[in-house]
Structure formats: C-alpha cells, structure tokens
Chains A and B, each alone.
Chain A
Amino acid sequence: MPEDILINFTPQETRVAVMHQGVVQELHIERTASRGLVGNVYVGRVVRILPGMQSAFIDVGLERTAFLHVADIWEPRHNGDPARPIERILFEGQSQLVQVIKDPIGSKGARLSTQISVAGRMLVYLPQEKHIGISQRIESEIERESLREKITRLVPADEPGGFIVRTMAEGAMEEEMANDIDYLRKIWRDLQMHAKTAAPPALLIRSCPSASAYCVISSIRKPRASSSTRARTSRN
C-alpha cells in the first residue's frame, strides 16, 4: 500500500497530510502560537521555596514562574528512607532540570516534575529510573511477557534508565524497538550535553518539533516488498 506523508512547514504552523493512494486520509495541524508546553524540558532556576506548601517556584523563562510540588520531585529512594522535605532538597538560586507536566492556565503557571520522560513511538524513556514497565492497555499476559522479555534483552546492560512499553509496540519487530531505544537515548545524551552549557533558564527540548510531524516521521518505516512510504517536506 503506497503511503505518502506530505509536510508543509512554515514558521506559523506545521501541517501534515497522510496520503493513501493519492487521497488524504489524515490531517495534523499544529500552530506555533498555540502549542502546548507539556513535555518540554528546561534547565530552570529555583526562585522561591515555600516549605509551608512543600512547593517551589522555578523560573524556566516563561511569563510566569512554574510550580514544582515535592511529590513531583524524583529522588532515588531506598526502601525505608523517609521522604525529605522540599527545603532540604532544593535551595534558592539552584539550577534544576525540569519537565512540564501541565500547561499554564489562566493565572496559574505551568506545573513541573523533575522526573524526565522522553516519549518515542513505541517506548517512553525514563533516563533517571531503572524500571521496565508495560502499558496497562496491553492486556494479553502472553504479549506482556514477550514484550518484557524483548525489551530487557534490547536495553544495554550499562543503561541507568528504564523504559515503558507503549501499546504501539504490540507486535512490533525487535529492530523497530531497538531503533526507538537508540533514538531516545540519543535525545537524552544531546539534552545532557546541552544542559551542561546552557545558562538557566533555558529550553532544552520541545516536547515534539511538531507533535504531529515528529510522531508521523518516527512512524515511517522502511519500505517493504509490497509497500513504499515516502515523506515530502516543503517550506513555503
């Protein structure tokens, strides 16, 4: 089945059309002005700590400082260790790697987490936590076991992080999953390099270059005997 993906990119918006046999099947439109921030990763600066609320306000370069609650601070926790209060974890002026988990709305700033997750097509990468998870939506116990076994084998032994297997991975070929692992690890490596030199507050990665274009592009697979997929991009 021949499939073409047409991408029309302008500074204002990115439009993606998925074509099948010359007929448009799907449209994705994303506007720069209305793009959500969820998933963006920043190096922020802690501007205020409120022990009473067990929260902190972080400057990530947005109009309003963003909100970080102690429950969203990721800490390697050993069994039995009591949770530390926020004033013992952060200090004012500190730079901190954060990810937006909720868009700013009205007068409320964005909500942040310090646990970074990078979503690929089939996997979600959790670089700070060694954990293998399988989406609850994959119901078949046999499929879950087979995916768990596959991913455990594919993840390099020295990998400090973990992965969550998404529903898209159901029935996926090992090679495709391996590609996703490489890709996500590379994004994280690039991000860390960038984080070392960036002066806070700085945006490190946008959730998706264009959520749609990114997802679609990452879905392009190698042409098989009976299929060919091409993507064309245009700037005008």
Chain B
Amino acid sequence: MPTVTPLLNHYIGDRPLFDLHGVEDEIQKALARRVDLKSGGYLIFDQTEAMTTVDVNTGGFVGVRNFDETVFKTNLEAAQTIARQLRLRNLGGIIITDFIDMDSEEHKGAVLEEFNKALSRDHTRLTVNGFTALGLVEMTRKRTRESLAHILCEECPTCQGRGEVKTARTVCYEILRELLHEARQFNARELRVLGSVAVIDVFLDEESQGLAMLSDFIGKPISLQAEPSYAQEQYDIVLM
C-alpha cells in the first residue's frame, strides 16, 4: 500500500469530483433503459429474471446511400457501447444482443470481432458464443457483485416491476363490471366510485354514456370521486 501513496491525489476543488468528470451523468445513463449512440441509433437494455437482453436500433437513421454500410457502422458502435455498459451496469448471467440484421458474413464477423475486442477490457470472466441460429449474439458474464440497478433501485411500486399498468379505459371497464356485480349482490341506495384522476376523467368524458346506461340499468345513482393519491389501477366501490 505505501508504494501507491505518491499516486494518490487528494481532490479539494469546490466542484464535486464526480460532477467535474461527468460521473454523475454516467451513473444516470447507466440506470436508463435506453442508451443513445453517436451515430443516431440507440440501445435498449432489459434486465429480466432469466437474462439481460440488448436491442440495437438504427433509430430511423436513413438517407445514406448505402443502407448496409449504415447498419454495419451502427452495429460496430453498438458493440463498443454494449461492452462498456455491461461493465458500468455490472450485468451478469446470460446476455443476449440483437444486433441489426446484417446480410454480409464479413460484416457479421467484423462486428463480433469488435465486440470481443471491446469486451477484452473486462476484468470479469466472460464467454462469447457468437451468433445463434436467429442471428442473436449470445454471451455470459460472471456475476460478481450486485448489478448497479440492484444496488440503487427497487421494484416499481405502481406496476410491481412489470413496467406497464392497465390503461385508464381498461380500469373503467373493470369498474363497470364490478358495479353491476355489487348492485346485484347488495341493496344500496347509491354507489360511489373512488378512482385515480385519470380513470375518473375517462368516466366523465368518453365513458360517461356507458356509466349513465349502467346507472339506468341498475336503477341506482352512481357518483364519482377522484382520489389524487390513487395509482391508476387502484379503485374502490362504496355502497351508500
């Protein structure tokens, strides 16, 4: 340890060190699903239970005479960026990359070579198995520490990690079915729907007719109450 002391430099500047060197920005980028490439294309990273998938897109980058050349260049840049992002994100296990389809075997070979070269900087043990029958590049990277996302993030409480919520309209239709069911089962004077702002908006606007029809059908008034604290999928039906 003493031998490295001369190499240490105590930073005392006013501007935070990580800010100065753009590390804060890189951390934010390493948490995002989408990573933009300089060539105009972009990558989409998805970490699932079984594996991590990376999708390479041209991002509608057209207008160059030679389409094959554009794809090739985008894939080359993607190969370098993916290798670096895997390190930053510390992703382990199976990693599958869907490069943009290339017809030329020569291009395929060159992209794979570039990928291997970029990955050779990695200290973690990895194996690259090359293109699969479907044209995906298959590799594994040893899991050492937890991934960056696992250290810094938690599952989304709104969607429980699915990444999607039911649309306001889907929730509206669920509520209509539930209202009918409740009205048949219990004898209430009035029914009140407590829902998220987005869901109540749909009831007040596009689905107002459907709600009025249901109210006539069950012969009871239905009132609406928007609850700003409710998540989109959340609702309650109150018997009055």
Contacts and interface: CB of A to CB of B under 8 A. Distances in A.
Task: Check if A and B associate.
Answer: yes
Interface of A: 4, 6, 8, 15, 17, 19-20, 22-29, 31, 179, 183, 211-212, 217-218, 220, 222-223, 229-234, 236
**7 closest A-B pairs by CB:** A234-B17, A234-B11, A24-B26, A17-B23, A232-B9, A220-B4, A232-B11
A181 to B, nearest CB: 13
A218 B121 CA distance: 18
Interface stretch (B71-79, B83-91, B208-216): B83-91
B177 interface: no
B87 A17 contact: no
Given A17-B23, A27-B27, A222 B3 contact: yes
B88 A15 contact: no
B18 A29 contact: no
Given A218-B1, A230-B7, A232-B10, A27 B22 contact: no
A230 B84 contact: no
Contacts of A17: 18, 21, 23, 26
Nearest to A137: B125
Given A27-B148, A234-B10, 19 more contacts: A4-B21, A6-B18, A8-B16, A17-B18, A19-B21, A24-B23, A24-B88, A25-B87, A26-B87, A26-B88, A27-B27, A27-B30, A179-B3, A211-B145, A222-B3, A231-B7, A233-B8, A234-B18, A236-B16
B152 A29 contact: yes
Contacts, number: 79
9 contacts: A8-B17, A27-B23, A212-B145, A231-B8, A232-B8, A232-B9, A234-B12, A234-B16, A236-B16
B92 to A, nearest CB: 14
Nearest to A211: B145
Interface in B138-188: 145, 148, 151-152
Q: Which of A4, A20, A29 lies at the interface centre, i.e. has the most chain B CB atoms within 10 A of its CB?
A: A29
Given A8-B17, A218-B1, A230 B88 contact: no
Interface in B76-120: 84, 87-88, 90
A208 B3 CA distance: 19
Interface string B25-61: 0110010000000000000000000000000000000
